[in-house]
Amino acid sequence: GGFTTHSFPPFPGSTYTTISMAVTPTCLAFVSYERELYLLDMESNLELITHDYLGKKNTSAYASISFDQLIQFRNEAREKYGPNDFLQKKMYHVVDDIVKPICAQTNTSYARYLNPNGLHTEAFVTHCWGEPFGQFVESIEAAFKSRFHKPNLWICAFALVQGSGEVVQKQVDVPRLEDSPFVQALKQSKSFVVVRNPNVDIYSRVWCVCEVYFAKKFGFFPKSVDVVGPRSFSHAVSGCMDAESSNPKDKYTILRELMKEKFEVIEEIDGLIRKLRDISH
């Protein structure tokens, strides 16, 4: 038989409605709305064949690295630079020196280089690149030090293909902000991890503001938010409309999205930003 496009009730073992199916003399195959491919044999044994059907694992939500991979990357970077120089290195240094060459060689992101089949996002990490890289990793360690299960981490430096400005911009230049890799990954995540640093107020950066906006929209506040790093900018008074971006187009796109909201929503985002700057951990 051939594939159909009719809807069917959920099959045993799947909570999802079927959107297409095929029948052979020995088995039945069906695809759920969650793009999972199942096989049901003649003895009613159900098997989930893949979550990757129709390319699901090619989405931004699967461009994560494991907690252990981040620790290993930190250790290798420290060995590369030497203990003293490593302390001075910021995120953009390790991206330029380590991540970009791998992206250029493999034509993929560092996360995909480590995990060719994809790794689903469990914790979305919001931060800025002016931070000391070693302190950034220490903050991540602090966030999950008491967790038995260490989550897979979506970190933009590893999730996007790093290269020239044009290469990066092409990945974030989407018709709707909701379709950006940042927002798509955040939507599929289980937690929102805010990593502050002593050098730069992360909420002076417009993408970090954008991530707070969507984290609120997706229901992460207050129970699924972790805040780590120093309270160095707890007295900062700037709001979301004051945030800057290295690319003016990004700032325009994000602020335009915020300005669609009622004034009360903007005030609420500013209130969340003040709390995130000030909260102790």
pLDDT tens, position by position, 16-36? 444 455 555 555 665 554 445
- Give mean pLDDT, residues 247-257: 93
The residue with tokens 């102790």 is: 280
| Gap between the Cα atoms of 19 and 6, Å rounded | 6
Whole-Å CA distances, 235 to 29, 196, 221: 58, 14, 22
pLDDT of residue 3: 43
Could you read off the pLDDT of 166-207 as tens digits, one per residue? 999 999 998 899 999 999 999 999 999 999 999 999 999 999
**Strand-pair category, 153-154 with 18-23:** unpaired
pLDDT of residue 175: 87
Shortest CA distance to 277 belongs to which of 196, 221, 206, 217? 196
Could you read off the pLDDT of 36-86 as tens digits, one per residue? 555 555 555 555 444 444 455 778 999 999 999 999 999 999 999 999 999
